[in-house]
Chain A
Amino acid sequence: MSYALQQIIENAPLLLIGLRATLMLAVVTLAASTAIGVVLGTLATLRPRWIRACVALYVEVFRDIPLIVTIFAIFFGAPFLGVPLKPFPAVALGLSLWGGANGAEIVRGGILSVSRGQREAATALGLRTWKIYLLVLWPQALRAVLPAYTGLLALIVQSTSLGALVGVTEFLKAGGLIIERSTVMQGINPAFGIYFFVLCTYFAICSVLTLASRRLERRLGRQAGGGPAIRAPDASRL
């Protein structure tokens, strides 16, 4: 175990590079997922049935296909479609499409949780649809959505580890490289210690986010309309 610790300290720069890549991937994915989620989640609350059906189809597809398959599909498939996508963009795209699907569900729930009275009052005041969303529905949905969104961020951080499988040097991959080097050069395998360290680091980051999500849920919990708090997508829905 102490050998593993020694390896971690010696290779701290490499691990930090990996951690930086993980966080960058998470931030990019969060931004893109938010964009996709807000657009699709809002569309899912419009009246025309075909729009809602399209969004439901997208959400279903990206939540039902294993995330690992989505990412490999983009990474291996993109060159065949003539779009050369480097590993980082490929993973970011795959995670964003999945994150957007989850985000859409959260946003949809958030908008629907705003009491009908609000929408009716806004319509009675003669506001046009896009103004209703912008001025009335989105701001109120935001309160409902925040706890669940923080939970989603925890999931996104965890899923960045898939980048290791297609060649992105993120945190998990950095750990793997240390193990590889040690195994081949010194014949000692620190896999137990290194992977345990990787697990603990993810735990440190994600538990902070999860706790924040739970605290936000308690504080912002019940909306003005009295609807139930939006549940964060459970990690089991990964």
Chain B
Amino acid sequence: MNKTRFAAALLALGLVAGQAAAQQLPPLPQSIRDHGVLRAGVRCDQPPYGFRGSDGGFAGVEVEMARQMAAWAFGAADKIDLQCVTADNRIPQLNAQRVDLLIATLGVTPERARVIDFSDAYRWGGSDLLVKKDSPIRKLDDVRNRTVVMLRGTTQALWFDANMPGLQSLRLNTASDALQALQQDRGEAYAHDAATLIVIAARDPSLRLVGEPFAIADAAVGLRKNEPQWAAWVNAALARMKAEGLYTTWLERWVPAEIRQPYTDAFMKPRPAAR
């Protein structure tokens, strides 16, 4: 066999194998199929995972994940119904069946596991503190006697309740409210997912990160309880995304190169230990 034929045969084999891989997703549950679109809850205030793009539309790595699932489930990426959710209303929205899955910076915690199910983790994420550039806060314990801004219902709220119960905290509803509160000196530090704080700090030179990661948890897709068929589909879709290297593509699109490394580590490397 000459070289061209050999290459062609390999290509054909590769295509067939690719097709076989594409057909590896288990069947879509009827209840999901009946909606005709993928109804997903995503964040609209947390770059780079879920936020509003410059055109006002949905943007971010997790939004891409949702769109890809829509493409695999219904054949086109625009067969999707995206819903903005916040940390305190995302789980009620899921259980109220307003959405069928949550790809919304949802950390895996035992409290949440009581009321919803999680898919396999697709990344991990840590928390950090955002402070003003000239703030005296240099490490996590420095906030003990200060006011910390955070969002209601987040992993940070849970962590501070468990580890610094007497802390003066300002609990708001959206990331922009929290950022405003920090900038207006209503709080001396803003605690949130490091992933979002890195982007904010990169955009605003008057702010800096404290840089002591804490509350590291896996992030997974949120699903209602007792939907094993749907869970199996979602897990298979996540595995396929990893296998096809899609996370890298999306990170390249949404995260500037100079800060990309921590995000890639979050998707690809195993979770480290921290407080």
Interface of A toward B, CB cutoff 8 Å: 75-76, 78-79, 84-87, 90, 166-167, 176, 179-181, 183-185, 187, 189, 191
Interface presence of B4 (CB below 8 A): no
Contact B180 A79 (CB under 8 A): no
CB pairs A–B below 8 angstroms (10 shown): A75-B92, A78-B96, A84-B95, A86-B98, A167-B86, A179-B176, A180-B44, A184-B52, A184-B179, A185-B52
Q: Mark B166-205, 1 if CB is under 8 A from A, else 0.
A: 0000000011110110000000000000000000000110
- A79-B96 contact given A187-B204, A189-B180, CB 8 Å threshold: yes
Interface centre among B52, B86, B204 (most CB of A within 10 A): B52
Whether A167 touches B85, Cβ cut-off 8 Å, given contacts A84-B96, A87-B96, A184-B51, is: yes
Nearest-CB residue, chain B, relative to A82: B95
- Is the Cβ of B176 less than 8 Å from the Cβ of A183? yes
The reply to whether A180 and B92 contact each other, CB–CB distance below 8 Å, is: no
**Which of A76, A87, A185 contacts B98 (CB under 8 A)?**
A87
Residue B56 lies at the interface, judged by CB distance under 8 Å to chain A? yes
Please tell me if the beta carbons of B97 and A180 are within 8 angstroms of each other in the complex. no
A167-B180 in contact (CB<8A): no
Not counting A79-B92, A167-B86, a sample of 7 additional A-B residue pairs whose C-beta atoms are within 8 angstroms of each other reads A79-B95, A79-B96, A84-B96, A180-B52, A180-B176, A181-B56, A184-B176
Q: Are B97 and A86 in contact (CB under 8 A)?
A: yes
Given contacts A167-B89, A167-B93, contact A183 B98 (CB under 8 A): no
On chain A, the residues within 8 Å of B175 by CB distance are 184
Smallest distance from the beta carbon of B193 to chain A beta carbons, Å? 15
A181 touches B52 (CB 8 A): yes
Give Cα distance in the complex from A180 to B93, angstroms. Answer: 21
A189 to B186, CA, bound (A): 15
Kindly state the separation between the CA atoms of A167 and B91 in the bound complex, as whole angstroms.
12
Least Cβ–Cβ distance between B173 and chain A, in angstroms: 8
Interface of B is mostly: mixed
Among B52, B97, B174, B176, chain A packs the most CB atoms within 10 A around the CB of B176
CB distance from B90 to the nearest CB of A (A): 9
Q: Is B2 an interface residue (CB 8 A)?
A: no
Instruction: Say how far B184's CB is from chain A's closest CB, in angstroms.
Output: 9
Residues of B within 8 A of A (CB): 44-45, 47, 51-52, 54, 56, 85-86, 89, 92-93, 95-98, 174-177, 179-180, 203-204
Q: Please give, as numbers and ranges, the residues of chain A lying within 8 Å of B56 by CB-CB distance.
A: 181
A166 to B51, CA, bound (A): 19
Q: Nearest Cβ in chain A — how far from B88, in angstroms?
A: 9
CA–CA, A86 and B92, complex, Å: 9
A residues in contact with B45, CB < 8 Å: 180, 184
A86 to B97, CA, bound (A): 7
A180 lies within 8 A of B174 (CB): yes
CA distance A126 to B253 in the complex (A): 82
Q: Compute how far the CA of A130 lies from the CA of B177 in the bound complex, rounded to whole angstroms.
A: 56
Say whether, besides A180-B45, A185-B52, A76 and B176 are in contact (CB < 8 Å).
no
Bound complex: CA of A176 vs CA of B56, how far in Å? 14
A173 → chain B, closest Cβ, in Å? Answer: 10
Q: How far is the CB of A177 from chain B (nearest CB, A)?
A: 8
Closest to B51 in A: A184
Which residue on A lies nearest to B203, using beta carbons?
A: A187
Chain B residues near A183 (CB, 8 Å)? 176, 179-180
- B96 near A185 (CB under 8 angstroms)? no
A76 touches B92 (CB 8 A): yes
Contacts of B180 in A (CB 8 A): 183, 189, 191
Query: What's the Cα separation between A181 and B177 when bound, in Å?
Result: 11
Instruction: Give the residues in chain B near A75, CB-CB below 8 Å.
Output: 92, 96
Chain B residues with CB under 8 Å of A181's CB are: 52, 56
Contacts of A84 in B (CB 8 A): 95-97
Once A167-B89, A181-B56, A184-B52 are accepted as A-B contacts, the answer to whether A90 and B96 lie under 8 Å apart by CB is yes
Quick one: closest A residue to B52, CB to CB?
A181
Bound Cα distance A181, B85 (Å): 15
In the assembled complex, which residues on chain B have CB atoms less than 8 Å from the CB atom of A189? 180
Chain B hits for A86, CB < 8 A: 96-98
Among residues of B, the one whose C-beta sits closest to the C-beta of A180 is B176
Residues of B within 8 A of A79 (CB): 92, 95-96
Nearest-CB residue, chain A, relative to B97: A84
Assess whether A87 is in contact with B93, with CB atoms less than 8 Å apart.
yes
For residue B204, which residues in chain A have a CB less than 8 angstroms away from its CB?
187
Bound form: Cα–Cα A146–B54 in Å:
49
- Complex CA–CA separation, A86 to B39 (angstroms): 13
| Distance, CA A184 to CA B203, complexed state (A) | 10
